[in-house]
Amino acid sequence: MTTTDVFAHVSTQTRRGFASDNYAGVHPEVLAALAEANAGHAPAYGADDWTARLQELIRGEFGERAEAFPVFNGTGANVVALQSLLPPWGAVICAESAHIHQDEGGAPERIGHTKLLTVPTPDGKLTPELIDREAHGFGFVHRAQPAVVEIAQVTEQGTVYSAEEIRALTDHAHSLGLSVYLDGARLANAAAAMDVPLRSLTTDAGVDMVSFGGTKNGALGAEAVVVLQPESVVSGSSARRTDSAGQAVGYLRKSSMQLASKMRFVSAQLVALLTDELWLRSARQANTMAARLAAGAGALDGVTLTQPPQANQILAVLDPAVADAVRGDFAFYDWDVNRHEVRWMTSWDTTEDDVDGFIAALRTQLTTRLTSGV
């Protein structure tokens, strides 16, 4: 299916915006996979052909030791993954801007009983030196014990880790006895931006566990916790120390309310994304449109990009009055109200016309403000 064919299927609603890649609809190839999975009966709870096919595709992308656990959403993926890597006394080192800290409604703490040790970062990315700010107090009974380092790819600041940066981070974390979890809600966009396979930013870079995000890249609602290094799972905390890593994650997925009874419909979406590189095609479209938007908007007087765009997110400082006026036609969010910073996100279905129309609206409002002397 060509890009033109895809966009012919996309709804032509009047309010297409740049608020979030969650605003986009479902990719037609994903919808087709759901329709195909809807034929007849199939075993429940993952004992179906779609989930078996998903395991094959996951191993093809992440390596032969990889095992996938489909879940409903990114919050659930993060909660399940972190629990599986942590002993009861363990804590997670993450960026202060991390999604698990700022945007999960406290789910890691409330549901996963997870202590987060946050570190300020200039660009949303951790480094070995930044990890060391919280990687201390080992053996001190009065302090939650650092056990996991969490990073996101793409970060909340729209930045992307290189494979070399991740390897340096995982080597350092492992030398301290810490596991590494990568929140991959936008992993596809990062891999597309760097033109590398998924495994080069995960398995080959030493990551222990990753979430593979589908919802932000054309799925209806599908993510997967992917165990890359089974020995990193704290299966010994269960009643039977002989439980495998897969069983341990499976137990946690169920108790965290992320086990789908009709799992074929979750798995089918991920199978579609992993077939014929749909994940890559969709992510490239989003990234390409972000680059177009950054180039066009960044050239306007009155727009200051605050982070070099690396994937499908753009942060910019913009007059609040201009932002409010443009929002009448295009949805987008404020990011840092105090500095008048806004966020623009592109999606798998963002078109050149969408971007050019948005830039034109920005230009009109900026010109109006300038000529009126406001």
Residue range 174-195, pLDDT digits in tens: 999 999 999 999 999 999 999 9
Contact at 8 Å (CB) between 121 and 95? yes
- 124: β partners: none
98 in the same domain as 20: no
Give the tens place of pLDDT for each residue, 118-133.
Answer: 999 999 999 999 999 9
Q: Which residue has the tokens 């409903």?
A: 72
Residues 195 and 309 occupy one common structural domain: no
The confidence score (pLDDT) of residue 4 equals 45
Residue that terminates a domain, selected from 216, 245, 273: 273
Looking at the structure, tell me whether residues 8 and 71 fall in a common domain: no
Strand partners, 146: 91
Strands 90-95 and 67-71 turn out to be unpaired
Two tokens, residue 212:
């593979």
Q: Is 167 found in the same domain as 149? A: yes
Prediction pTM value? 0.93
User: Sheet harboring 313-318: ordered strands across?
Assistant: 303-305, 313-318, 341-345, 333-336
Q: Which domain-ending residue is among 230, 245, 273? A: 273
- Residue at 278 is within a domain: no
Same domain, 70 and 140: yes
Predicted pLDDT of residue 234: 85
Instruction: Name 91's bridge partners.
Output: 115, 146
State the residue range of the domain holding 196.
28-273
| Residues 91, 200 share a domain | yes
Residues 149/155/160/162 CA torsion (nearest 10 deg): 0
Domain match, 37 and 152 both: yes
Residue 101 lies in a domain: yes
For residues 141 and 233, state if they share a domain: yes
Give the helix/strand (H/E) hosting 353. Answer: helix 352-372
Q: Are strands 179-183 and 145-152 parallel, antiparallel or unpaired?
A: parallel
- Asked if residue 46 and residue 86 are part of one domain, the reply reads yes
Q: Are residues 8 and 129 both part of a single domain?
A: no
| Domain boundary pick from 220, 240, 273 | 273
Which CATH number characterizes residue 333's domain? Answer: 3.90.1150.10
291 domain-assigned: yes
- DSSP-assigned states of every residue in 23-77: SS---HHHHHHHHHHTSS---STT-SHHHHHHHHHHHHHH-TT-EEEEESSHHHH
Q: What's the pLDDT score for residue 10?
A: 45
CATH number at residue 141: 3.40.640.10
Mark whether 50 and 89 lie in a shared domain.
yes
8 A C-beta contact, residue 225 and residue 253: yes
End-to-end distance of the chain based on CA atoms, in angstroms? Answer: 49
Residues 66 and 177 in one domain: yes
In a domain, 13, yes or no: yes
Residue among 224, 202, 266, 213 nearest 99 (CA): 213
pLDDT beneath 70: ranges in the chain: 1-15, 235-243, 373-374
Q: Please give the tally of structural domains in the chain.
A: 2
**What is the token pair recorded at 95?**
């960026």
Q: How many CA atoms lie less than 13 Å away from 191 in the CB half-sphere?
A: 26
Q: CA-CA distance, 197 to 212, in Å (whole number)?
A: 13
